[in-house]
Structure 1
């Protein structure tokens, strides 16, 4: 057992170094002031900031494009049949495509998390899983299908390196196809643009 006051290892009821009761709990000190949203690394806490809610609410949605399902609904039946067969057969053979990349930005971690969320809102990608670590947030997202590629997965890991230095690692995954016609590249490029343009008010 260690003393909560001086940190010295002790036995019994009192610390032999400073005399503090070993079962005494030291109250946590209150923070000096509120944490600015851009410096916040906790996802749930970050999403509660009014400034962050405002940023997400005012994202400009892109022009609606035909999803893969909508495109095939208007295609001849033989094309739909062949496409569905080809995709399921490719998935059975474990065919897949994707792309990964990582960047480091001289910006606080919270601002990069918010920038990533702004991109996901703009792109209409659904966040399916959030994993919280110490100074680290991992997001799993569903990539909506379009005319170029079926539904896929986007994984993002954002980690704080220093107060003003943040690393973001990104990976796309499209099962059942061996080429996505540049969609992974476009997703990663646009996400990094959002991160590079992140502002801290």
Structure 2
């Protein structure tokens, strides 16, 4: 935690807006994007990368790359390790203009909900084991995000990733609980896809 005289942490909406402006200027590589993130911790990385998928608009090619990065970051959180991305991923190009629009739209959405987020239940939400468990759940949802899925379904695993990441950053037990619930619903959704296919799941939901 920051000391009493420390500057307040950067809000996620501001970080997304800044990244959106950078991405609209030119095409970026993974290696150029990641160092541009504010050095808070890996939860900020997973929140930023997943926030762009919190809508039903498909983003072909991005979900697999970002999902794997999120899964790796979550796995390292679960093991209590710091950030790391394989060197061979650094040169992979990202569609800057499209990604910039995604980040800017995600920033607008985050600004509408950020004032509801605050520390809650810190006796549990701030516990190191809670962060490690949440990192493992983030890693699992990152793998779901990276998997081939029906168009427009990327938002399903992205939602618990963002909730858990913000819960870790803000030590908010309510957000963590919502993230665990979202991850459980993803298990049911993707399990249903594996067993019955997309048409079968739609029939069950309908």
Bin for the TM-score computed over the shorter chain: under 0.3
Q: Choose 1 or 2 for highest CA Rg.
A: 1
Greater RCO structure (CA 8 Å; 6+ sep): 2
TM-score by length of 2: 0.23
**Higher relative strand content:** 1
Question: Which one has a larger percent helix, Structure 1 or Structure 2?
Answer: 2
